[in-house]
Amino acid sequence: MKRKGFGFSLPVTAVILVIGFIYFSTVFTFIDRWLSLASSPGIANAAAFTALALMCVYNYSIAVFRDPGRVPPNYMPDVEDPKSPVHEIKRKGGDLRYCQKCSLFKPPRAHHCRVCKRCVLRMDHHCIWINNCVGHTNYKVFFVFVVYAMTACVYSLVLLVGSLTVEPQDEDQEMGSYLRTIYVISGLVLVPLSIALGVLLGWHVYLSLQNKTTIEYHEGVRAMWLAEKGGQVYKHPYDIGAYENLTLILGPNILSWLCPTSKHIGSGLRFRTAFDSAPVSSGTKP
């Protein structure tokens, strides 16, 4: 996979600082105060949370640095290809989609990002928190990162609440003030962050089960309205069933769904659709 260039980003810096703060407060305050890092339960929880934090950082770094997918400079849609039944056209004029800014034809599900200033394959959205587009090649790692991040936040909240049940022993006033500050800041960070990540995860689970991107969801709302107005029934062309949709996005092996593997995604120039007569691997080159 290609890597994109990267410069300083305030949102990315903020995410890294929040991850670091949550990790150190969880391990060296909540776990140590509740279970003690010198005990077996304390060591086990510290090891589990450290592994979770490492997976968060690893998947986050891939989502940040991996190029979300570029349209090849020589790409040309073949309208006579029987294996490619879906050719997206412009809403007005009925022509094949062509990007005037990139001077390239757009493959199905590709869109131009005004921030990145180029077309992105299977673009979902531009995310300021990774300073990158979420697209064909990094959608899975973005999804997996959200899973690990939400799990880590909920885990940290449980440890925070558990540590509050411990009666303080031999804590001087200065240490007590320090701990109160840690708990207040942690609560103000973890509660809204857990809610936000939970909503975000739920949204992308919904999209994945229907094999839609965020852009396609909003386009589909309009298409459904127009279809109903004309007495027709709209069906998303890339929806081939909930489980099949998940395997196209997360991979055919369920054991690797939470790993940042992406060998199954293909080129991103065409995708299996509900109109295919035989199974075709996602992203098979035309």
Using one digit for the tens of pLDDT, what is the confidence trace for 59-100?
A: 999 999 999 999 999 998 876 665 555 556 555 545 688 999
Rounded to whole angstroms, the Cα distance separating 121 from 42 reads: 45
Residue 263 lies in a domain: no
Residue 210 lies in a domain: yes
Whole domain around residue 66: which residue ranges?
Answer: 10-166+178-256
Identify the pLDDT of residue 78. 73
Q: Is residue 3 within 8 Å of residue 136, measured between CB atoms?
A: no
- Residue 113 phi/psi, 5-degree rounding, is -100, 120
| pTM, rounded to two decimals | 0.88
Residue 63 lies in a domain: yes
At 96, is the secondary structure helix, strand, or coil?
A: strand
Residue 268 lies in a domain: no
Residue 61 lies in a domain: yes
Average pLDDT, whole number, for the chain? 88
- Looking at the structure of the chain, the number of domains it has is 1
Task: Tell me, yes or no, if 127 is annotated catalytic.
Answer: yes
Looking at 127, 133, 153, 259, which residue is catalytic?
127
Q: For residue 284, which of 147, 92, 83, 138 has the smallest C-alpha distance?
A: 83
In this structure, what token pair is assigned to residue 184?
């207040």
Residue 266 lies in a domain: no
Distances (CA, A) of 257 to 200, 252, 260, 282, 286: 18, 8, 8, 16, 27
Residue 2 lies in a domain: no
- Answer whether residue 47 shows pLDDT above 80: yes
